[in-house]
Amino acid sequence: MEQGKQLHGLVVKTGDCLDRYVATSLITMYLDCGDSDGARRILEFMVDKGVESYNAMASGLLRNGEDFIALGTLREMIFGSSEKPNETTLLVVLSTCTSVLAPSLGKEVHCYVLKHAMDCSIKIRTALIDMYSKCGSLECAYQVFSAMDERNLVTWNTMISGFLIHEKLANALGLFQQLRLKGFSPDSITWNLVINGLAHHQKFAEVFSFFNKMRLEGVSGASLETMTSMLSACSAMSDIKHGKEIYCHVIRTMQHFEDDVFQTTVIDMFMSCGCDSYAGRVFEKDRRKSNDPALWNAMISGYGRCGKSSLALQTFNEMLEQQVHPNSATFLCALSACGHAGLVQKALHIYQMMESAYSINPTFEHLSIMVDLFCRAGKLSEAYGLLLKHTDPPASMWYSFLGACRNYSNAKLGKIAATKLYDLDPSSTTPWVILSNVYAEQYRWGEVETLRKMMSDKHLIKAPARTELV
């Protein structure tokens, strides 16, 4: 930036700043350095503004995330100057429409393109396909694609991406086959799109099949998203063999090896396969450098799933000692580890720490773990107190609480839970049947009869028990 400003000063002294192309280059320089105000001042003082200047300004603003200001700049050119939009202008406008999800404006651009016979451009048609796909108009996108006499690989990739955005995996795979028949060879972008789409639809066997085909065809450059999707597939299938192969492939090619997202996915894959020692090695290499709580969460959650609650809580404590700020998911992982081990007091301490030390409001997931812990430990009063502190806990928590009331033969709290469940679902007989069983276990036959009469009066009929032989 400093060198750029010095050059700016030099061209002002020499008078070259009045040249349209020099000024346009300065606009691009300022925007590439993130100084939108500096670029805007140059455009305002330009006497001879050309379409290239407006395009440079708008595209730079778009790169800097100032989408609506970019549109304003182009509107100023169209209505406030004699300059007419060219292909680059229309590509910038369409890109902006895609970014801000403005299909109406995109359709206006499409009409302008047709009116001025600019629709023969492959770039513009591809941009229209991308805009329509991402703005929710897949049918319009495919109409533009189908009407094209000439396409390039970018066009095919854009249409495949559009189908995948709209969950049309079969259509995307069909296009993948068609582009080969048309004489195109899929590039790394094509392969990445298809592999990610298969992984998203949990077609895990096909994921590895396509990845192997990609490597056999000599296509390199699997993206971070692709590698992450494949590792997630390994996690879902507990496929340690493929998981190790992918991890080693990334190490060999040095692709994204230090990325926190990738490292977190690797840890989750090893944990899901029961290989917590491998996960620990990956974690030890990266934890000192990472302040991303997701990395720590993967370790805490993984140790809990592997039945190593003490290691999960040890990792949680180390995280706090290293001043990595925990998030809601961190506390959920730590509470789950306590739940697996039945550590009621430790869980209560962590639960209270959420609000007092980190100002994180407990969600129903946190509440569910605490209620379940209290119920299993027979601390029904504490569980009931927690339920009362939160607004409208779901029926599943009240059923868990009612089940504990039956296990510990607490008719008083059982009646409260059954009444609450009746309020949530007046047609269900289950709460009253459970409460009736609690009364029966205490030989309180009068209350049993009262419940049955109440159910009869409300026309609640218990479904008869049955068994099925397969």
Do 57 and 77 touch, CB atoms closer than 8 A?
A: no
Do 54 and 73 touch, CB atoms closer than 8 A?
A: yes
What class does CATH assign to 363-470?
mainly alpha
Residue 186 DSSP SS3: coil
Q: At what angle do helices 364-376 and 380-389 cross, to 10 degrees?
A: 160
pLDDT in tens, 17-64: 666 667 777 777 877 788 788 777 777 777 677 788 777 888 887 788
Q: Please give the biggest Cα pair distance in the chain.
A: 104
Tokens of 104: 């109406």
Chain Cα centroid distance, residue 374: 33
| CA trace torsion 284, 286, 288, 292 (10° rounding) | -120
List own/partner pairs for 35-40 with CB under 8 A and 24 or more apart. Answer: 35/1, 36/60, 36/61, 36/64, 36/66, 36/69
Neighbours of 284 (CB within 10 A): 10
Do 207 and 195 touch, CB atoms closer than 8 A?
A: yes
Question: Which residues, in sequence order, are CB contacts of 105 under 8 Å at separation 6+?
Answer: 71, 93, 97
Q: What is the DSSP letter of 325?
A: P
Do 294 and 287 touch, CB atoms closer than 8 A?
A: no
Q: What is the pLDDT of residue 55?
A: 79
Q: Using CA atoms, how far apart are residues 258 and 279, in angstroms rounded to an integer?
A: 15
* Helix and strand element counts for the chain (H, E): 27, 0
Q: Select from 394, 401, 392, 468 the least CA-distant residue to 434.
A: 401
pLDDT in tens, 382-415: 999 989 888 888 898 999 999 999 999 999 999 9
218 phi and psi angles, rounded to 5 deg: 75, 20
pTM above 0.75, yes or no: no
Residue 309 sits at the vertex; the CA angle it makes with 306 and 312, to the nearest 5 degrees, is 90
Residue spans of the chain under pLDDT 70: 1-2, 4-21, 47, 78-83, 119, 254-257, 286-289, 459-470
Residue 30 DSSP SS3: helix
Q: What is the pLDDT of residue 12?
A: 63
The tally of CA atoms less than 13 A away on the side-chain side of residue 344 is 12
Question: Which residues, in sequence order, are CB contacts of 296 under 8 Å at separation 6+?
Answer: 287, 315, 316, 319, 324, 326, 330
**Which residue ranges make up each domain of the chain?**
363-470
